[in-house]
A and B are shown apart, each in its own frame.
Chain A
Amino acid sequence: MDFDKELDARGLSCPLPILKTKKALNDLTSGQVLKVVATDPGSIKDMQAFANQTGNPLLSTTEEDKSYIFFLKKK
C-alpha cells in the first residue's frame, strides 16, 4: 500500500504508539496515508479504537514477523 509517511513505533509500550501516531497524523494533510509499525501487542485493539474515536480510518492491520503494521488515512 502506498503511504505518505512512516512511523516506527517498534519497542514502544502503551500509550506511546498511539501518542506518536497522533503526532505523526498532525503533520499530514487530509487524505494522506500514515504507515505505523509497532511491536506492542496491545496496539492492535488500541489503534482500532483510536481510529474509531478520532475518525481517521484504519485502512488495514497486518502482522508480519512479530510486528504490527497499520495504515491510517488522515481524515
Chain B
Amino acid sequence: METQSESLAMIPPDGALDRAIKERIDVLLEQRLEAKLAEIKAAKTPSMTIIATKGTLDWAYPPFILASTGAALGWDVSIFFTFYGLELLKKDLRKLKVSPLGNPAMPMKMPMGPAWFKSIRWNIPNAVQSLIPAYETFATKMMKKTIRKTGVAEIGELRSLCLEAGVNLIACQMTVDLFGYKHEEFIPEVKEYCGAATFLPMAKDADVSLFI
C-alpha cells in the first residue's frame, strides 16, 4: 500500500506517465498488429466472385478465362450468372453468337487467305449488316475459325476446365423465371439457383469481385 502510494506520488501531476504508457502501447500494438495481419494474409486462401451478365460468344470469354486462371492460382472462385449470362450455363453452347452489328470496336477480318487479305478490316455499315440475312451466323462462323486458328480455347473447354478446377457456377433464379427457362436446359453442374441475397455476402468476403 505504501509502495503504491509512493509510486503514485512519483506521477507528475501533468499525466506524463499516462502519455508514456499510451505511446508504448501504441508502438507495441502496431508491431503486433502488423505481424498478425501478415500471418492472417498468408494463411487465407484468396477468393474471387464474378458476376457474368453477357451471353454472346465474345463476352463468354472473360468470366471463364478469369475464373479458370484464378482457380489455377489456387483461389476459391465463384461465378454468378444472371440475365444473358445464363446462356453460358446452357448444355448446348453452340448457339452462342457474336454480333458486329452496333459494335464499332469489333474488327471484321477474314480468317483465311493470304496475309494481305487477312489484314483487311471490313467496315460494313450497320444499315447493310442489318439487311444481310444470317449476318450474325456468318460473323460467328468467322470468329470461331479465328479462335481455332489462334489457339484460343473454345468456351466449352474453358467451362469444363473451370468445373474441373472447382469453380462454383451459380445461377440467378430470378432470371430463370423471367426468361421462362427450365433447370433441365442448364448443365447439371450448376451448384445452386439463388438470388442477390445469397451472392452478395459471398462477394463481401471476396478479395476480388468483378462485374462482367
Contacts and interface: CB of A to CB of B under 8 A. Distances in A.
A14 B150 CA distance: 10
Interface stretch (B24-32, B65-73, B119-127): B65-73
Interface centre among B72, B73, B150 (most CB of A within 10 A): B72
A19 B72 CA distance: 6
Given A13-B150, A15-B68, A54 B161 contact: no
A22 interface: yes
A60 to B, nearest CB: 21
A68 interface: no
Interface string B148-163: 0011110000000100
Q: Is the interface of B mostly helix, strand, loop or mixed?
A: loop
Contact of A50 (B65, B72, B161): B72
Give chain B's interface residue range (CB within 8 Å of chain A): 10 to 19
A19 B69 contact: yes
A18 B152 contact: no
B74 interface: yes
29 contacts: A11-B151, A12-B151, A12-B153, A13-B150, A13-B152, A13-B153, A14-B65, A15-B65, A15-B68, A15-B69, A15-B72, A15-B153, A16-B153, A18-B69, A19-B68, A19-B72, A19-B161, A19-B165, A21-B72, A22-B165, A39-B151, A40-B151, A50-B72, A50-B73, A53-B73, A53-B74, A54-B72, A54-B73, A54-B74
Return the 5 tightest CB-CB contacts between A and B, nearest first.
A22-B72, A15-B69, A53-B73, A13-B152, A11-B151
